Structure 1
């Protein structure tokens, strides 16, 4: 059983490496990504909290993109953590699937796109390979779709369209206290015209 799982994991890794080498990505600049997100009119949703502004959201999204090195072709594999109830009677943990994060925003193949390697909600109705090319417009459109599909948890219900965990994945803790005016200070000086 272990060897079959190892072969599948190696095949998935080989596919990721093959796709990464076959696609041409590029490294974005922080100010360029900020401008593209502003032009895309990303909206704050109620599940994000009443105090979050669009500027806060854009700063946090760009901060998150920094984890990928602003690389549009970045792919990262993550082994899901086992839950407590997935421990067999022999004390061995059941293996959880490896899922992939794609592109500059590190969108998941479980929710955002279809990698062909595991079942996906495919909220963006696209192949994950579209998220690792040099065109960031489809990444932004997918990010908007994922954000738009997040619904706050109803008080008397246990099921939601996409869990708020997705929101926590998009808005990573490390970027929680980013102050837009400070984070984008160089963008303001780069675009401010010099008075004569």
Structure 2
């Protein structure tokens, strides 16, 4: 009986191997070694990690669908008076994909740890994408976050770049605005990462 239980546990563990739940401190460390941030942006790291906590709860295989006009946290209900430290996102039921002309609103599917959009950063084969990161969206759902981190770096670089096409600029700025949510806007690294070991 014990042998059967061990086999079941191993089988379940193997089935979950593509999904990893990171920790706040672990993600902070990976971001510090992987990202090049603009000068004088000491709290940007805390804001990015806060975004990850609110939207994917540090799950590398999180997927959500939102209306293009809303932010991911709006589709999960109000968060007034709740600390970002203790927020656990609720599961969002994907909205049906509508044929062209049925609804003026577009839906974005957000992928992975950083909840990056299939309209902007990756190709889902379901709609046209800028595909800034040159990835299929499934690459943002596995336990290797090196491509996710590289994609976040692309977005950070775009924050200061001149984008000549207004439609492209609109989508890029929308994607970047998802990282700067109101709940995370005032996140201070010294407070948010207070419980993380110092290097």
Q: 1:134 & 1:179 partners in 2: Cα distance? A: 28
Q: SS at 1:117's partner residue?
A: coil
How many Å apart are 1:73 and its aligned residue?
Answer: 0.3
Q: 1:60 aligns with which of 47, 64, 87?
A: 47
The answer to whether the 8 Å contact 1:59/1:179 transfers is yes
User: What is residue 37 of structure 2 aligned with on the other side?
Assistant: 43
User: What is residue 72 of structure 1 aligned with on the other side?
Assistant: 60
Structure 1 or 2, whichever has the larger Rg, is 1
How many Å apart are 1:136 and its aligned residue?
Answer: 1.3
How many Å apart are 1:191 and its aligned residue?
Answer: 4.2
How many Å apart are 1:95 and its aligned residue?
Answer: 4.0
> Which ranges of structure 1 fall in alignment gaps of 5 or more residues?
1-20, 45-51, 83-92
Residue 114 (str. 1) matches residue 84 (str. 2): no
Residue 136 (str. 1) matches residue 130 (str. 2): no
Residue 171 (str. 1) matches residue 171 (str. 2): no
Q: Deviations over 1:29-66 (max 9, x none)?
A: 0001000110013313xxxxxxx834311111100000
> Which ranges of structure 2 fall in alignment gaps of 5 or more residues?
1-14, 71-101
The answer to whether the 8 Å contact 1:152/1:160 transfers is no
Q: Deviations over 1:122-151 (max 9, x none)?
A: 000000000010111111101111221234
Q: SS at 2:108's partner residue?
A: strand
Q: Which has the higher helix share?
A: 1
The answer to whether the 8 Å contact 2:122/2:129 transfers is yes
Structure 2 length-normalised TM: 0.67
The answer to whether the 8 Å contact 1:78/1:100 transfers is yes
Tell me how large the CA RMSD over aligned residues is: 2.8
Q: SS at 2:135's partner residue?
A: coil
Report the count of equivalent residues: 152
Higher RCO, 1 vs 2 (CA within 8 Å, ≥6 residues apart): 2
Flag the 1:182–1:22 CA change in 2: closer, same or farther, 3 A: closer
Flag the 1:158–1:107 CA change in 2: closer, same or farther, 3 A: closer
Q: Deviations over 1:131-188 (max 9, x none)?
A: 010111111101111221234679xx8837533333211221210000100100111x
Flag the 1:81–1:172 CA change in 2: closer, same or farther, 3 A: closer
Structure 1 length-normalised TM: 0.68
Q: 2:166 aligns with which of 129, 134, 159?
A: 159
